[in-house]
Chain A
Amino acid sequence: NAGVTQTPKFQVLKTGQSMTLQCAQDMNHEYMSWYRQDPGMGLRLIHYSVGAGITDQGEVPNGYNVSRSTTEDFPLRLLSAAPSQTSVYFCASSSDRSSYEQYFGPGTRLTVT
């Protein structure tokens, strides 16, 4: 049982490049989400999904896309990277988003130059 896995762990992009951050969980959780964590700020929700085929925007969705074709995987796509997207990105999963604890992945540290 690996929990929540994320790849890559580190990534450097040039402005304008695109990439996909991978996230997978093996706990059969319906709810998955992406957060970004910036210095001096709490984690902020980018996008979330309540099940395969269902996604919705969080509080900071601009510049990011998601899809949920399977219960296990929830990739985050950066369409055209900007320096403002330099951050640490965490994927999380839980049985539902209200009552149960969330399990976080190890994070991806992204730098956009």
Chain B
Amino acid sequence: KNQVEQSPQSLIILEGKNCTLQCNYTVSPFSNLRWYKQDTGRGPVSLTIMTFSENTKSNGRYTATLDADTKQSSLHITASQLSDSASYICVVYFSGNTGKLIFGQGTTLQVKP
């Protein structure tokens, strides 16, 4: 079954600290993996899109990695800020017959001062 699992479900860190969010997927075949940030009460906003041939991609303080062999991705946030408090959603594009996006449940990050 094509699934995307994220861990941890929630995370609390202090402002200025780094953190890493995990995404494991069983989607096959897949063509790209995305990370979205969703602020409370808002729609998701794209952080990165990586194709299966890319290993890492950065967007400011956000760095995503992808290991297509182990079907794992991570999102690393450096020097966290209060504005990083949000849900982070991993999404994999299933490129089989139907072609669709498969969403993880998200990791809720709270950054405390």
Q: Does A12 contact B (CB under 8 A)?
A: no
Across-interface contacts of A26 in B (CB, < 8 A):
none
Q: How far, in whole Å, are A4 and B46 apart by their CA atoms in the complex?
A: 14
**Cβ-neighbour of B95 out of A42, A43, A98, A105 (below 8 A):** A98
Is chain B's binding surface mostly helix, strand, loop or mixed?
Answer: strand
Q: How far is the CB of A103 from chain B (nearest CB, A)?
A: 8
Contact between chains at A42 and B46 (CB < 8 Å)? no
Contact between chains at A101 and B49 (CB < 8 Å)? yes
A positions within 8 Å CB-CB of B: 4, 40-45, 58-59, 90, 92, 97-107
Q: Does B93 contact A (CB under 8 A)?
A: yes
Report if A97-B49 is in contact (Cβ < 8 Å); known contacts: A42-B89, A106-B42: no
Contact between chains at B105 and A4 (CB < 8 Å)? no
B positions within 8 Å CB-CB of A: 4, 31-32, 34, 41-46, 49, 89, 93, 95, 99-106
Report if A101-B43 is in contact (Cβ < 8 Å); known contacts: A42-B4, A42-B89: no
Report if A97-B34 is in contact (Cβ < 8 Å); known contacts: A90-B43, A104-B45: no
Q: How far is the CB of B17 from chain A (nearest CB, A)?
A: 26
Q: How far, in whole Å, are A44 and B100 apart by their CA atoms in the complex?
A: 11
Contact between chains at B105 and A45 (CB < 8 Å)? no
Q: How far, in whole Å, are A101 and B48 apart by their CA atoms in the complex?
A: 9
